[in-house]
Amino acid sequence: MKILTFFNNKGGVGKTTTVVNLASYLKKHFNKNVLLVDLDPQSNSTQLIVPEENWEDFYAETATRATIMSYFGDMDEGNISLENIEIPIKSQENKYNLDMIPGHPNLSIIDDKLSRSWNNMFAKEKGDLRIVNWLNQLRGMFSDYDYIFIDVGPSLGALNRSILLNTDYFLAPMGSDIFSVIGVGNIESWIKRWRSDYETAISTFMSGYGEDSIKEFARKYSVNLNINETTKFIGYSVQQYSKRKFKGKVRPVQAYENVISKMDDKIYNSLGNLLPESVKRENMKIGDVPYVYSIVPLSQTANCPIFDLDYQSGLRGNQSSSVGEYTKYLDEIATNLLKNLGDLNGD
């Protein structure tokens, strides 16, 4: 089982739409068993999958159904024990055909606690070392899946740090603008900084408690002692922009085209050192996401993947051609992602 996180330090790049549709497409067309986990406090993935009339079941004061917050036990006093709760949303109850753990706005509280635990690690607090490695507990609970796909917000905070620490791979959805490229540069310096800090903390634990003791502790509580084996960069996708028409002909916007032409070099210079050895530079870009905003709202209203939209979903006129175009690009992204992961049949 592999954990894949979709992350960029820039919002508005079509990340959530991509992760939810890609997970569903891999399930339907490649027979991959995917668990989707919404770890963005804005819970946009959850809103795509769960109809609005059911939101109170998860978020009202009288909520009867679990969210990601239900999995977190007491994180105070240096302890954490994820509750082994049945998956809240099963594939048969949503049009995306996905098992899902819904997000929750209160994840910001977890972010604060994780920040304190990160700082406490340097005082050789074993409980806090367990806390920042909480994602490995989730990995152990759901190891029967082929993948856990994680949707996160653009923050460079403690929650995302703890997720990236133990994610196997991360994918960077990009826009066609300069701000997406700046976001990748921010990710580079951020990862470099906390990886160095984490290695320092582990060395402190080793010297304070002894190497054998810490290795046994790590085995018992699923603590990452080798961060060189995680947080690998598996590639990026590019959200296309809306091209302008002049006298009936489509005209590219030069500012966007300039960014796109330099994007691969800038991403490689920032994140190339995190590529797995099996992924060549020319395979970093796994595909484009077409500009089909006319059907994205329809997908949201119908709580249905874009590639499955039809007349019953409200599809009208030439919108069917947009669905076909999106599906073609999504298939390319899915195929190239599986190639980079070494999981395409025949690899």
Q: What is the pLDDT of residue 261?
A: 82
pLDDT digits over 129-139, tens only?
A: 999 999 999 99
> If you average pLDDT over each of 13-17, 150-154, 245-249, 291-295, which comes out highest?
150-154
Class of domain 2-341: alpha beta
Distance CA 280, CA 272 (A): 9
Q: With beta carbons less than 8 A apart as the criterion, state whether 158 and 115 touch.
A: yes
Q: With beta carbons less than 8 A apart as the criterion, state whether 7 and 187 touch.
A: yes
Q: What is the pLDDT of residue 242?
A: 61
Is the pLDDT assigned to residue 315 strictly greater than 90? Answer: no
For the whole model, what pTM was predicted? 0.93
Contacts of 236 (CB under 8 A, 6+ apart): 171, 172, 173, 174, 267, 284, 285, 286
Distance CA 54, CA 19 (A): 22
- Alpha-helical segments (H) within 33-151: 44-49, 55-59, 107-121, 126-132, 135-141
The number of residues making up the chain comes to 347
Q: Which two tokens stand for residue 72?
A: 């977190």
Q: What is the pLDDT of residue 344?
A: 87
Distance CA 262, CA 258 (A): 7
Distance CA 343, CA 6 (A): 18
Chain centroid to CA 22: 11
Q: Provide the β-strand partners of residue 147.
A: 2, 34
Can you list the positions of beta strands (E) in the chain? 2-6, 34-39, 99-101, 147-152, 169-174, 232-239, 244-246, 249-251, 285-289
Query: Across all residues in the chain, what is the average pLDDT?
Result: 90
Q: Which two tokens stand for residue 157?
A: 């905070």
Domain ranges of the chain: 2-341
Distance CA 87, CA 35 (A): 9
Distance CA 50, CA 63 (A): 14
Q: Which two tokens stand for residue 108?
A: 């910001």
pLDDT digits over 23-41, tens only?
A: 999 999 999 999 999 999 9
For 332, the enclosing helix (H) or strand (E) is helix 319-341
